[in-house]
Structure 1
Amino acid sequence: MLTLTANQWNLVYNVFSFGLVSMLACTIYTLVSQARVLPKYRNALVMSSMVTFIAGYHYWRIFNSFSESSEGMAVKVSGDQGAFNEAYRYVDWLLTVPLLLVEVIAVLALAKEVSKSLIMRLVPASAAMIALGYPGEISNDQNTQILYGVLSTLPFLYILYVLFVELGKSLDRQPEGVAATVGRLRLLLIATWGVYPVSYILGMGEGMASADQFVGVQVGYTIADVLAKCVFGLTILKIARMKSMAEGMKDDH
């Protein structure tokens, strides 16, 4: 059992609640915004809604897991039955991170061959990044944590290469303002994804994590999720709107 102060327990409880409602609100907003973009860009919004819906479901499970594993201010984190389940996050990321990358490609409406090439490289790399991070997350051995932290960084660097070098070649053909917005989108991706390794490092160390480490990791991961999924999804909507307007859609909504 890991004993938290009342403030720490309430902070984690409230940040999970914030993550849950953010995902649900963003899901509804992107779904009802379908009519505001041309049909060719609606797949990107559907994927954005899927990302936040999947994340909302997992935040509901995380929220319940935290409540059920708590006895007063103490949280069971041993990994046994009834303990707080960190695996929900990794199942969520394994599903949502590839979709986040496909969103970017879908909203740009690139040539079919270019889109397929980018997806075939980005999706496996993103899945490898998440899968390689999990063994380090659940380990209490610092050497194992470092090893898998480094291994999961390699596909992350490859993803950045594809996004900035390969995808960058296609931006010159985008409408005015779209290339700049996509540039900001990629920077948002780096900034938010950069929070994950910081939170991962906060949880590193021999033996069971301390209360401060546990709180830091959970708060860091949740804030990063909201930025990487909700803010990212709203930016995808903005790009879809910009492209729709550039292609003659009237702003009636």
Structure 2
Amino acid sequence: MIPDQLTSGQYQTVYNLFSLVIAAQLFTALYLVAAQPRVLARYRQALLVSATVCGIAAYHYFRIFNSFRDSFVTDATGGNGVYTQAPGESFNEGYRYVDWFLTVPLLLVELVVVLALAKKLQTSLLLRLVPASALMILLGYPGEISDSDATRNIFGLLSTIPFLYILFVLFVELTRSLDRQPETVRNTVSKMRILLFATWGVYPIAYLLPLLGFDGATAWVGKQAGYSIADILAKCLYGLLIYRIARLKSFADDPAFALEEGGHEGVDAPRSRVNA
């Protein structure tokens, strides 16, 4: 539940966190676009998807930031007083769910695309991961905006089902498809899956705070902090790891490109050369 008032410290904490997320998402998107020439053409689509994810997140955090500023006001000079909810205004948590509804499926798309799997396998993975991730977000929203513990429990449980299915696909079925990937790519994919699991784990914890007895302004600020930090890790850091995979696969596919980029060390040689 949105608190009726925030202390100056709580307000500044949320204000600065939202500003940090905007900067992180925006400049990560710009970096990924600028980095296109650093990978082979076949892997640039994954970088564009990563940049799109960060761009969508930056846009929605602008909206979240503006909604927050409009929702809490103070009469104190210098911004050192108590911030109360402005008449007729309310912080819009829906912006965050719209962002997740668009970006979470794209996070899974960029992972599958950058691996350049066989067309049939790639299609199979996407047809399972994308609907499951969208369903996970849709089922979580009614509980997020509800004041009823029963409603939060029901929709929290329902949204957990597609979440567990996504983990199964990523950790079990995708693993079977990594045999032909360079060892450095396999290691990076393993780190990415752990990153997704760890950062996505923040969301249900924040979601469950009211059910765990945490309420009021402190719990709300903690939820916003958890969501913000998780969004930076799950989008910006994840996007940079996608870029690393694209670089490693580019080096493995084209030794001349690797030599030109100075990044051939530690990358497996193409299999065609190994078997020659």
1:173 aligned counterpart, secondary structure: coil
Shift of 1:252: 4.0
Letter in 2 for 1:227: L
Give yes or no for the alignment of 1:213 onto 2:219: yes
CA–CA distance in structure 2, aligned partners of residues 251 and 150 of structure 1 = 51
Match of 2:83 in 1: 74
Instruction: State TM-score, norm by structure 2.
Output: 0.87
2:258 aligned counterpart, secondary structure: coil
Shift of 1:176: 2.5
CA–CA distance in structure 2, aligned partners of residues 55 and 65 of structure 1 = 15
1:133-212 matched pairs, under 5 angstroms: 133-204=140-211, 209-212=215-218
Report sequence identity in percent. 54
Does structure 2 retain, via aligned residues, the 8 Å contact 1:203–1:217? no
- Give 5+ residue unaligned stretches, structure 2: 75-81, 262-276
Shift of 1:81: 5.2
CA–CA distance in structure 1, aligned partners of residues 229 and 138 of structure 2 = 21
Shift of 1:76: 3.1
Shift of 1:202: 1.7
Shift of 1:251: 5.0
* Residue number among 8, 16, 22 corresponding to 2:18 in the alignment: 16
Does structure 2 retain, via aligned residues, the 8 Å contact 1:126–1:159? yes
1:5-48 CA-to-partner distances (Å, cap 9, x unmatched) read: 11111000000000110000100110000000001000100000
Letter in 2 for 1:65: S
- Give 5+ residue unaligned stretches, structure 1: none
Does structure 1 retain, via aligned residues, the 8 Å contact 2:252–2:258? no
Does structure 2 retain, via aligned residues, the 8 Å contact 1:62–1:88? yes
Does structure 2 retain, via aligned residues, the 8 Å contact 1:66–1:84? yes
Does structure 1 retain, via aligned residues, the 8 Å contact 2:143–2:152? yes
1:33-83 CA-to-partner distances (Å, cap 9, x unmatched) read: 000000100010000000000000000000000001111143539xx9521
Change (3 A) 1:2 1:180: same
* Residue number among 246, 249, 259 corresponding to 1:243 in the alignment: 249
* Residue number among 130, 134, 137 corresponding to 1:127 in the alignment: 134
Count of residues paired in the alignment: 250
1:55-134 matched pairs, under 5 angstroms: 55-72=57-74, 73-76=82-85, 82-134=89-141
CA–CA distance in structure 1, aligned partners of residues 219 and 44 of structure 2 = 41
Does structure 2 retain, via aligned residues, the 8 Å contact 1:202–1:216? no
Shift of 1:205: 7.1
CA–CA distance in structure 1, aligned partners of residues 204 and 142 of structure 2 = 14
Letter in 2 for 1:215: V
CA–CA distance in structure 2, aligned partners of residues 155 and 104 of structure 1 = 18
1:98-118 CA-to-partner distances (Å, cap 9, x unmatched) read: 000001000000000000000
Change (3 A) 1:110 1:192: same
* Residue number among 29, 32, 35 corresponding to 1:33 in the alignment: 35
CA–CA distance in structure 2, aligned partners of residues 120 and 251 of structure 1 = 37
Instruction: State TM-score, norm by structure 1.
Output: 0.95
Letter in 1 for 2:63: R
Letter in 2 for 1:189: L
CA–CA distance in structure 2, aligned partners of residues 85 and 116 of structure 1 = 36
Letter in 1 for 2:194: L
